Structure 1
């Protein structure tokens, strides 16, 4: 394996660093984008976007390039760092992302959309596109959101609980195949020891968190902050008294929610009720 290049003098922002490495490896072999594509596969335009930083591509592409360039694991590792980098997200989320990465437990309530850490790529793409993103920026944000999911599978993954409003599960994707995959992903994630998924039925009525997605982040020292988000803005709540009031509301919602086992069966019934093939 070739020696790893010294970072000094190169970009230390993970996404740009990954793009630089790809450009340098191709230049060392005096290959055009088309020649690279013919050898490795995929379209030449994809490699152009990778080298410009417009996209990060997939882990499969990184692995294929590792094999071609003789850098086993290097490019895949750089891809993993780049896709999970908080700088991929909008400025207002960056402080929250740093706190999330340092938390030992995450408690969440979803009123409108599934939490990012449980979204499939198709769900994330549909949601972000509905918010006005498109083109390369849309793909950048989808990749970044998928990187967030790694927080639940890391070696020291935090405990994660989400209470989903039934309305979240009743708002399906236009493509039924993609929606089935999303529900199946929820069932699979709910089987992890550190993940708890509950559903609060619409019949439970109004409550203190209606219209508000909320995440509580508890650090190793016991301190807790909350991230409160609507469709247009997000706010980090740090004052102890304010966090306490939100936690009381959260506890009341959890009291009215289905148990984790009942919630798993509820999602299972939704899957059973779906047509096996999308209607034409």
Structure 2
């Protein structure tokens, strides 16, 4: 179904309308993205991602833009409608994604599945399918997840460290060729200057994050928040003492991990094993 259009010719889809207004207002003002960043104090790449529809930003950003353009609460209202749009991510992820878009660095621990930002489209599709999604909802969620990967693109992308349990690399996709492509994608991502990938071998034994996927976000104001997730629920942790305890656990796990160089060698070994198995 094509996007609905109002008599003004602008979209009535909340997210698309928000994007359209952002582009129109900046064009009318005559600002470049860099000028906008300098005036408002956010990295200009955030505004570029918002205008590309890759992220909604946060309410603070929408309010600042309203002030800059003299539009009262127009952009904040559109932002609220876009966030509440049922075609977007589930409610429990919305605040997290707002903060993720603003993060200057991120570090992650994976228990049994690759983090969203390192998944290929097929991996995301298969993982969301076994999680119970299907039809249009599955398609929307896969597309949204692929869009989020662009957070790691560009010269101003945040630094990202992912520590993977060996179990992640021992749990292949059903399609052997697609699994090899996922491993190759992982190696390619690990070559980027802003991305570090490490592996915790199973022989390291039990540790504090054995059953908890965890993502830490370092924000521009110096705060760190955490997202912790099991297979059935997720929670945004913002209280400083709780985040500090999680960070200590993460540091201890990272100490157990192979170095990025040794981890790359291990992932390549997994790729070679996958290639050999598929040829027999």
With the length of structure 1 as denominator, give the TM-score of the two structures.
Answer: 0.72
Alignment of 1:1-280 (within 5 A): 10-11=11-12, 13-15=14-16, 81-82=52-53, 84=55, 87=83, 88-275=88-275, 278=278
Q: Tell me if the contact between 2:123 and 2:182 (Cα under 8 Å) persists in the aligned partners.
A: yes
Q: Tell me if the contact between 2:109 and 2:213 (Cα under 8 Å) persists in the aligned partners.
A: yes
**What is the rounded CA distance, in whole Å, between the counterparts of 1:264 and 1:226 in structure 2?**
26
Return the offset for 1:13: 2.1
After the TM superposition, which of the residue ranges 270-279 and 217-226 deviates more from structure 2?
A: 270-279
**What is the rounded CA distance, in whole Å, between the counterparts of 1:247 and 1:134 in structure 2?**
35
**What is the rounded CA distance, in whole Å, between the counterparts of 2:9 and 2:134 in structure 1?**
34
**What is the rounded CA distance, in whole Å, between the counterparts of 1:79 and 1:218 in structure 2?**
20
Aligned positions, number: 218
CA, structure 1 residues 168+91, in 2 after alignment: closer, same or farther (shift >3 Å)? same
Unaligned runs of 5+ in 1: 19-76
Q: Tell me if the contact between 1:14 and 1:78 (Cα under 8 Å) persists in the aligned partners.
A: no
Unaligned runs of 5+ in 2: 1-5, 20-47, 58-82
CA, structure 1 residues 131+161, in 2 after alignment: closer, same or farther (shift >3 Å)? same
Partner of 1:32: none
Return the offset for 1:267: 0.3
**What is the rounded CA distance, in whole Å, between the counterparts of 1:99 and 1:173 in structure 2?**
31
CA, structure 1 residues 141+79, in 2 after alignment: closer, same or farther (shift >3 Å)? farther
CA, structure 1 residues 10+214, in 2 after alignment: closer, same or farther (shift >3 Å)? same
CA, structure 1 residues 272+192, in 2 after alignment: closer, same or farther (shift >3 Å)? same
CA RMSD after TM alignment: 2.7
